Amino acid sequence: MRLKHVSPGKETARFRHQEYLLDTYGPCLKQLGLRPTMPRLHVLDAFHKSVKRHLTAEDVFRSLLAQCSESSLATVYRTLSQFENVGLLKRNSFDSSRAYFELNDHEVHHHLLCLGCGAIQEFSNAFIDSVLHELAHLKGYQLLLRQIAIRGYCATCAYSRGGHPIARTAVSDSAS
């Protein structure tokens, strides 16, 4: 094994970080029946330390590159699917091109997506939830997923596009 380019201090720090990951996330993974491998620990850590709550596989892969050089995009995809299957992550398909994953808080919430800066905001609304339930009931649907995603421009982007940030504008859905 060639370790001559790695300083002992760096190696110790890496080992300490791996121990921290194992202590922090290992029990949770084991409880869900998943072996706490390094890629799994790093992926879970990426979600916990990210300032953004909704991450694509590419986002996760980028944040892993600095710490876990043995990870590949394929490993990240596989890990995300495994986490989704055990209910650790939720997958959101806001658009057909890519999926956004988030830690599963087991709460129903909806999303506002900004077409300008890509920001994703969450909101909860009991009235919307009850309307969705009633609609499904009327149509004889058994609800599996009750989530809505609203596309538009956030206050900052709306302002920079020349609109008033809090002006009410007619909703036009060009993405249907």
Q: Which residues bind Zn ion (CB under 5 A)?
A: 102, 114, 116-117, 119, 122, 154, 157
Q: What are 137's strand-pairing partners?
A: none
Q: Output 117 or 175, the one with its CB closest to Zn ion.
A: 117
Kindly calculate the radius of gyration of the chain based on its CA atoms and give it in whole angstroms: 20
What's the min distance (Å) between Cβ of 5 and Zn ion?
Answer: 41
Q: Check if the beta carbon of residue 89 is closer than 8 Å to that of residue 102.
A: yes
Q: Which amino acid is at 171?
A: V
Q: Output 27 or 163, the one with its CB closest to Zn ion.
A: 163
What's the min distance (Å) between Cβ of 155 and Zn ion?
Answer: 8
Q: Which amino acid is at 175?
A: A
Q: State in Å, rounded, how far the first CA of the chain is from the last one.
A: 55
What's the min distance (Å) between Cβ of 47 and Zn ion?
Answer: 12
Q: Output 28 or 117, the one with its CB closest to Zn ion.
A: 117
